[in-house]
Amino acid sequence: MNTATTPEPQTRLSGKGRKAVAGAWAGLWVDMFDVYLPVIALAPAAAYFQPAHLSDTTSLIITGLIFAATLLGRPLGAVIFGHFSDRTGRRRTSMIALVGFGVVTLLIASLPGYHEIGLASTFALIGLRFADGIFLGGQYTSAIPLALEQAPRGKRGLVGAVIMTAFPLAYCAIALITTGLLQVMPADGLGSAYVQWGWRIPFVVGGVLALALVPWISRNFEESDAWKQAPKAPSIPLVALFRGVNLRNFLQVFILMTGLWLAFNVIGAVLPGALKRDAGLTDLRVTLLLVLAYALLAVAYLGAGIASQRIGRRRFFLIAGPLTATLAPVLYALLVSRTVTGSTLITLVSVALVIVVVSTFGVVTTYIIERFHVGVRSSGYGLGYTAAVIVPAFYVFYQTWLAEIMPLKYTPVVLLVIGGALIVIGAALGPETRDADLSAAIDDSSDADLLTGSIPGVPAHRQPALTAQHSPIRSEP
């Protein structure tokens, strides 16, 4: 194999590529729908799983643990499912993960409450959310690399952003479903219909949708050529990931993602409560405001993906990081201090805050996938994306500590500043990846032994020549 026989670069999504993107989008939509069930659908029914007369701080910690359990399960899911995705294929692994979190979500919908089995109900909820996180971490670990491996190099930024719009649109869907239910059956105390069984409806919807997606993926997903033609992945991809150049790539991604998750938790978990408690909005107004913000965020994702394709992923992060560290804290402080008043101003500031902080996620998935060669790509992407969740997941405790030296409502400002700074550091430590060749594979016996003649993050015109002895051969399992 030599450059003379290398096929022309793909410029359009193939038929199987479009199906892969559609499947990745649908899988992520269901994934994110399930992730935010506790924050949106279960929050009004918190009394179902908690003893009465809890202090606000204790209730906040329990709610935080329920949310964090899912986030903490995702890195373990990335390890388990990333291994099988790299070794046995993205398609099969994606289906197993979907079945897993579909079943677990349905089990959560059937749980008895605290007033029936005591604290066992709270522990069961946290445990099942952790198991849910494992399967949720496995789904995007396999499906999204498969889709981007089939995307044209010049359109990867846009394709990655399109897939990521599943997150804000899933958020809008669950918020609207929950709001509709609460209008029909208000959560008026432990005996109300919503607290007793209404909250279960969104969980059933999420579980059924996950299971319904499996047969579609079985019929329509095909493995990417990059995976099928690459040399056999190392027997334990995780071992290869944590050494040499792969380890350096992972640590750089970990820093970047820690910053992103720390800043995001302020928006995803803290902002809704702050808008009610500190900005004085009702539950309904907060929900409608956030639905609007997340709908516009989907559009911002597309803009971010296109921008990163034009100016480069690295430069995009080097712009987004300072905005997160400077503009976002100002916007947040304006809201919680009630400096801005009136529906229109509060809405404008809130939407701007969401877009400034969260639009970065429209680029990060594509970037991480471009940072790892095909033999460890699912492991690197899945773990790089989710392992960094762990430290930010305990944001409630950081707020509690910071509250010793400053008002509690302003503690998220500090988290935003730190998050933005970490984004800048992480981006500065990494290369530009816009022109990366996703068919690249590096032998696990040596960082420098090229098997496909291309290195992730290195533009095509600077890639080393490929010798015949390094021709990629792989038999599909």
Give how far Cα 265 sits from Cα of 22, 64, 157, 261, 262, Å: 27, 11, 24, 6, 6
Domain that holds residue 100: 16-465
pLDDT the model gives residue 57: 65
Does residue 334 lie in a domain region?
A: yes
Does residue 6 lie in a domain region?
A: no
pLDDT the model gives residue 56: 63
pTM above 0.85, yes or no: no
CATH number at residue 189: 1.20.1250.20
pLDDT the model gives residue 298: 97
Does residue 392 lie in a domain region?
A: yes
Q: How many domains in the chain?
A: 1
Question: Mean pLDDT throughout 112-131?
Answer: 88
Does residue 414 lie in a domain region?
A: yes
Q: For residue range 7-56, what is the model confidence (pLDDT) as tens digits?
A: 445 567 777 778 889 888 988 998 888 888 887 888 888 888 877 776 66
Q: For residue range 245-273, what is the model confidence (pLDDT) as tens digits?
A: 999 999 999 999 999 999 999 998 889 88
pLDDT band at 441 (very low <50, low <70, confident <90, very high): low
Does residue 1 lie in a domain region?
A: no
Does residue 477 lie in a domain region?
A: no
Does residue 157 lie in a domain region?
A: yes
pLDDT band at 469 (very low <50, low <70, confident <90, very high): very low
pLDDT band at 231 (very low <50, low <70, confident <90, very high): low
Q: For residue range 277-310, what is the model confidence (pLDDT) as tens digits?
A: 888 888 889 889 999 999 999 999 999 999 999 9
Question: Mean pLDDT throughout 356-372?
Answer: 95
pLDDT the model gives residue 473: 29
pLDDT band at 465 (very low <50, low <70, confident <90, very high): very low
Q: Is the pLDDT of residue 432 over 90?
A: yes
The more confident residue out of 255 and 143 is: 255
